[in-house]
Structure 1
């Protein structure tokens, strides 16, 4: 198999999740990892037996075709622009940018240079979510009516060793967790047309509960409880709540309602999980819905699909247009809250193509 060279910039917490699963995809070749913190990069390289490089080396290496951008959110666009200027495609962790304006600039530069942008999340390509997509497309729920999307917890400072960025620009529950939920909803229902919402912040500081900084107090610069409505172009209306202020709740992560049935969709932060179809009469009993899509942690699946798409000259699924649309939707909740009015979404995006086959040993169905 022809391989596509990957250079990884950013060796923080999320990089280990990628480096664990990258070997599952034969098309991907890790040519090096780099970080502004050279010691961190060296430790990650040693842990996963990959080359440690300087950031500049990754930009100029002709074998590297894609820069995997795993930096903190406020650096996503700056690193992405440098990679594009170096002639590399870019696949970034979510969100695409801190603001819609900078995400739009990144997208415009990529288009002008004839290069690709990819972006997490790619969990919507996992087995449970592709099964849900197949059910919606096959008419199993009838006409979509609406749904709910909930992520609510007390905050990431309980477990993350360096949680500061969750409470800076580009953080907060909507930009941190919203991409998983809204991307999956676009996968299932299509583009969002307008948004209404409210965004609040109940505390100005947070106390870290994890080592090595347990007890340290950090400032909060972003809303930490966001709730609202999304009206989709197909007529469906979905309620959403993203919060770092909730002690506990009993809402399921994602539900889709139709005229003939409802879908109980598992956590879109994961690739798999139990999926239930609740028909018009009665409720789901026994085993969950099952279709032949592989389960498992397929972190890097979107990156692998992008690499295949480059070789095959076809669109990739976790693409920049999708990420930009999701970013505009997320920002619109704050705008709607500030203005006290419904906000129209200007971007339109096609639903990414479903996977035609399951995943086997990292080989992608087309």
Structure 2
């Protein structure tokens, strides 16, 4: 099998999940990892038997074709532009950028240089979400009508050791968790046409309850409760609520409604989970998962798909166009809330192809 040279920049909390999952994909040849904190890079390198390098060394390595950018959100575009300037394709953690304007700059630079960009989340490629898509594509739900997307919790300061960035520009429940839900909905229904929304900030500071900073207070600079509506190009209207201010709730993460039925889609922050289908006049029934990558945390599946796509010259699924669209939608919620009006979405990405089109014996290959 051909391999693609991979360099990883950013060795924070999420890097362990990526590095564990990358072992499942032989196409990914990790040539080194780097972080502004070189000690952290050395620690992570030791855990996974890799080589810790400086960022300049990674960017200058001719054996590396793709940079996986796992830095904090406000650094995604800066690091991505540096990678492109060094002739590297780049794939970043979500979101693509913290503003649509800077995300657009990254996308335009990639097109100018003939290089590719991609971005998380890739959970929509998981077996349960691909199965949900195949169910919708059969037409069993009838004409798409709408749906709900819900993520609500008391806040990430409960568990994250350094939660400050969640409450700075580029953070908040929408930019943090919204990409999972909106990306999966675009996978299921196609692109968004326009949005409306409201956003509030009930508290101007939060108290950390995780270790090692238990008791410290951090300021809040962004809305922490966002409720919005997305009108999709196909006519469906979906309500979305993302919050760091809710003690608990009973909503399921995703529901999709059609004239002939309702589909319960599992948590889009995971690759697997139960799917339930209700046909009009019946009751909810558990559906078998028919697609692979539903039995674990494959948080680099999108990177592997992108690597195969580069090597075989086909489109990759967790694409820059898709990530830019999701970023525009999320930013438009804030614009709609500020102006009290609906906002048209200008980007119109292609709905990603089903993963099944690139599988051999149940494994992503071509």
TM bucket normalised to smaller: over 0.9
Compute the RMSD of aligned alpha carbons: 1.3
For structure 1, the 5+ residue unaligned runs are none
**CA contact under 8 A between 1:190 and 1:350: conserved in structure 2?**
yes
Contact (CA 8 Å) 2:292, 2:362: kept in 1 or not?
no
Q: Distance in 1 between matches of 2:297 and 2:56?
A: 31
CA distance in 2, matches of 1:198, 1:275: 30
Residues 344-364 of structure 1, C-alpha deviation per residue, up to 9 Å, x if partnerless?
Answer: 001111100001269689930
After TM superposition, give the deviation of residue 282 of structure 1 in Å: 1.7
Equivalent residues of 2:96, 2:324 under 8 A apart: yes
Matched, 1:290 2:277: no
Q: Distance in 2 between matches of 1:135 and 1:183?
A: 17
Pair 1:101–1:10, CA change in 2 (3 A)? same
Task: Name 1:133's counterpart in structure 2.
Answer: 133
Aligned to 2:304: 304
2:9 maps to which residue? Answer: 9
Can you list the C-alpha shifts for 1:227-280, whole angstroms capped at 9, x where unaligned? 010000000000000000000000000000011111000000000000011110
For the 8 Å contact 1:25–1:363, the answer to whether it is kept is no
Residues 1-366 of structure 1 aligned to structure 2 (within 5 Å): 1-285=1-285, 287-295=286-294, 296-356=296-356, 363-364=363-364
Secondary structure of the equivalent of 1:356?
Answer: helix
What SS does structure 1 have at the residue aligned with 2:160?
A: coil
Q: Deviations over 1:63-95 (max 9, x none)?
A: 100000000000000000000000000000000
Instruction: State the 1:293 CA deviation.
Output: 3.1
Deviation of residue 283 (structure 1)? 1.1
Judge conservation of contact 2:128–2:291 (CA < 8 Å) in 1: no
Local SS of the residue matching 2:23? helix
CA contact (8 A) 1:84 1:113 kept: yes
- State the 1:365 CA deviation: 5.6
Query: Scaled by the length of structure 1, what TM-score is found?
Result: 0.98
Question: How many Å separate the matches in 2 of 1:159 and 1:359?
Answer: 37
Query: How many aligned positions are there?
Result: 365
Conserved? CA contact 2:271–2:293, under 8 Å: no
Counterpart contact for 2:100–2:328, Cα < 8 Å:
yes
For residues 120-177 of structure 1, give each alpha carbon's deviation from its aligned partner in whole angstroms, at most 9, with x where no partner exists: 0000000000001101111121111100000000000000000000001100000000
- Give the SS at the match of 1:67: strand
CA distance in 2, matches of 1:253, 1:292: 20
Equivalents in 2 of 1:238, 1:266: separation in Å?
Answer: 16
Relative to the length of structure 2, the TM-score reads 0.98
